[in-house]
Amino acid sequence: MDRVILQPKDPWSLHVYWEVTAETIARGMELLPAGGGDPQLTHRLFEDGAVWFDIPVKNPVSHGFLQAKPGRAWWVEVGLKSNSGKFLSLARSNTVKTPPARSSQKTDSQWGDLPALWERWKEFSPESAALPSS
């Protein structure tokens, strides 16, 4: 199965997992024009819809981290890149957004009152309501 999974790690980096089968790579090699040398398996990282950079990868199945910028939309394509620069996409990731590089401005969060929730839970499950002793 060919797949690429992308997830933000923090505002400045992304974690990518990829898996591209040998069959897909072989089909891709057939589609690239002859005479371009040996194509290199490559990650192409997109930032807000534009190519940000290409990075060669050695293994068809692996994972790693990529540099990013805060508050942007990202996706990765794994493909074959010829010596002439032609890129053939073999698999594409989901799109993710990195969080902003600042504390949340949200101050209206409400936290649960655990003792009150425990008392309500005991009403529905009296046989399990005994607290463990320390």
The radius of gyration of the chain from alpha carbons, rounded to an integer in Å, stands at 24
Q: Which CATH number covers residue 78?
A: 2.60.40.10
pLDDT at 61: 92
- Its domain, for residue 9, covers 3-101
Strand partners, 19: 3, 61
Q: Which secondary structure element, helix H or strand E, spans residue 24, and what is its range? A: helix 22-31
Output the pLDDT for position 81.
94
Is residue 122 one of the residues assigned to a domain? no
pTM, to two decimals: 0.73
The number of residues making up the chain comes to: 134
Task: Return the minimum-mean-pLDDT range out of 40-44, 57-61, 113-117, 129-133.
Answer: 129-133
In a domain, 81, yes or no: yes
Report whether pLDDT(124) > 80: no
123: in domain? no
Beta bridge partners of 61: 19
Q: What are the tens digits of pLDDT across the range 54-105?
A: 999 999 999 999 999 999 999 999 999 998 889 999 999 999 999 999 887 7
> 9 in a domain, yes or no?
yes
What's residue 47's pLDDT? Answer: 96
Q: How many domains does the chain have?
A: 1
Q: What is the DSSP string of 105-116?
A: ---------HHH
Whether residue 75 contacts residue 94, with contact meaning beta carbons closer than 8 Å, is answered with yes
pLDDT mean across residues, the chain: 88
